[in-house]
């Protein structure tokens, strides 16, 4: 049995109902967070709720009534859904409006929906020797506020669907020959032992895992250069990784059909070292 939480109460998955007049349904007018939970403990929860607060603020969606109770609700939901590792989705839409209108009624109250599912173990933890991800690059078709974690994910869905139909594992978006981010991840590349990732801007989501990985690297005495990553260079990288809350760190070994010239075994790779020490700062 799967439990969810809607606005003020826990409901079974089969019971939960939201009006089609909810602006999340009509316009994709909402924001969300995905929080990984390990052994029933949410990982980097404060960072995730901080970003949710910023997404609400940027979009002018009100904080839900139960805003201060969200950590407690997550705790209870995780207990109810029993898996020891879970992905918790916290979604807030602008709420149910009386009529369809782009301009919201100021009286509209936000909808809070929280759900969770089992978080599968990162396959590169179970088998670090498995083949790296194969991705394709696509011109970034998204809007100019990718820093907001909006539920409006049509561009990401179309891109990932296209890659999946071609048997690829994912997508890296580029703008004018420069990498922005993955369709659901941030991108890192290593050249001559220097780690580079795209700088924070309106073109990317400021990933919680990105920040965590930068802290892990700094903790090992490795500086990360936050600068433009050229697509033509990334094909020549020593290592490429994608990072996200549900994927953690995963290596990429093929981009646009071109096999990267990876000389190191996984044991000497930085991505593997980072995965091994992933929880060392928590
Ligand atoms: N960029 C995009 C577009 C994403 O969807 C995600 C995953 N939510 C990320 C980056 C990584 O963010 P995080 O590390 O906070 O999961």
* pLDDT for residue 281: 84
| 247 CA → ligand 1 middle, Å | 10
Candidate from 31, 182, 246 with most ligand 1 atoms within 8 A of CB, to mutate: 182
* pLDDT for residue 33: 98
Ligand 1 contacts CB of residue 185 (under 6 A): yes
94-136 pLDDT tens trace: 999 999 999 999 999 999 999 999 999 999 999 999 999 999 9
Q: How far apart are CA 273 and CA 156, in angstroms?
A: 30
Ligand 1 contacts CB of residue 116 (under 6 A): no
Pick out the chain residues at pLDDT < 50.
none
| In contact, 274 and 282? CB cutoff 8 Å | no
Q: How far apart are CA 218 and CA 220, in angstroms?
A: 5
Q: Looking up tokens 């805003």, which residue turns up? A: 67
* pLDDT for residue 282: 61
| 205 CA → ligand 1 middle, Å | 6
- Ligand 1 atom 9, closest CA: 185
Ligand 1 contacts CB of residue 160 (under 6 A): no
Q: Which of 136, 149, 168, 254 is catalytic?
A: 149
* pLDDT for residue 198: 98
Choosing among 2.60.40.10, 3.40.640.10, 3.40.190.10, 3.20.10.10, the CATH entry for 125-276 is 3.20.10.10
Q: How far apart are CA 190 and CA 270, in angstroms?
A: 9
CA distances from 128 to 38, 81, 133, 186 (A): 20, 29, 12, 20
- Per the document, the length of the chain is 282
Mark whether 149 is an active-site residue: yes
Give the fold, CATH level 3, of 3-120: D-amino Acid Aminotransferase; Chain A, domain 1 (3.30.470)
* pLDDT for residue 3: 98
- Among the listed residues 94, 55, 205, the one whose alpha carbon sits nearest the alpha carbon of residue 142: 205
Ligand 1 contacts CB of residue 29 (under 6 A): no
Using DSSP, state whether 1 is helix, strand or coil: coil
> What kind and span of H or E run contains 234?
helix 231-234
List the domain boundaries for the chain.
3-120, 125-276
Ligand 1 contacts CB of residue 208 (under 6 A): yes
Ligand 1 contacts CB of residue 30 (under 6 A): no
* pLDDT for residue 193: 87
- Among the listed residues 36, 215, 210, 237, the one whose alpha carbon sits nearest the alpha carbon of residue 132: 237
- Among the listed residues 141, 80, 150, the one whose alpha carbon sits nearest the alpha carbon of residue 115: 80
| 85 CA → ligand 1 middle, Å | 19
Number of neighbours of residue 72 by Cβ within 10 angstroms: 10
Q: Looking up tokens 């139909």, which residue turns up? A: 165
* pLDDT for residue 261: 94
């Amino acid at each position: 049995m799967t439990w969810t939480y809607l606005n003020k109460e826990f409901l079974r998955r089969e019971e939960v109902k939201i009006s089609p007049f909810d602006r999340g349904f009509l316009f994709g007018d909402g924001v969300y967070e995905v929080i990984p939970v390990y052994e029933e403990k949410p990982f980097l929860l404060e960072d995730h709720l901080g970003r949710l607060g910023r997404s609400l603020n940027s979009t002018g969606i009100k904080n839900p009534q139960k805003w201060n109770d969200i950590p407690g609700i997550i705790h209870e939901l995780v207990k109810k859904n029993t898996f020891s590792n879970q992905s918790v989705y916290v979604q807030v839409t602008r709420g149910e409006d009386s009529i369809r209108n782009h301009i919201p009624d100021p009286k509209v109250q936000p909808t809070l929906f929280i759900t969770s599912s089992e978080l599968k173990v990162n396959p590169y933890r179970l088998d670090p020797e498995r083949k790296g991800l194969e991705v394709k690059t696509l011109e970034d078709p998204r809007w100019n506020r990718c820093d907001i974690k909006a539920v409006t994910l049509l561009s990401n869905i179309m891109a990932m669907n296209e890659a999946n139909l071609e048997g690829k594992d994912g997508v890296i978006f580029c703008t004018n020959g420069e990498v922005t981010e993955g369709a659901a991840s941030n991108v890192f590349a290593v050249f001559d032992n220097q780690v580079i990732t795209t700088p924070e801007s309106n073109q990317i989501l400021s990933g919680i895992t990105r920040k965590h990985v930068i802290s892990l690297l700094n903790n090992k005495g490795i500086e990360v250069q936050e600068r433009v990553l050229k697509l033509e260079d990334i094909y020549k990288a020593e290592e490429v990784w994608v990072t996200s809350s549900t994927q953690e760190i995963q290596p990429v070994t093929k981009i646009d059909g071109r096999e990267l010239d990876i000389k190191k075994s996984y044991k000497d790779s930085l991505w593997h070292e980072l995965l091994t020490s992933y929880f060392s700062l928590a």
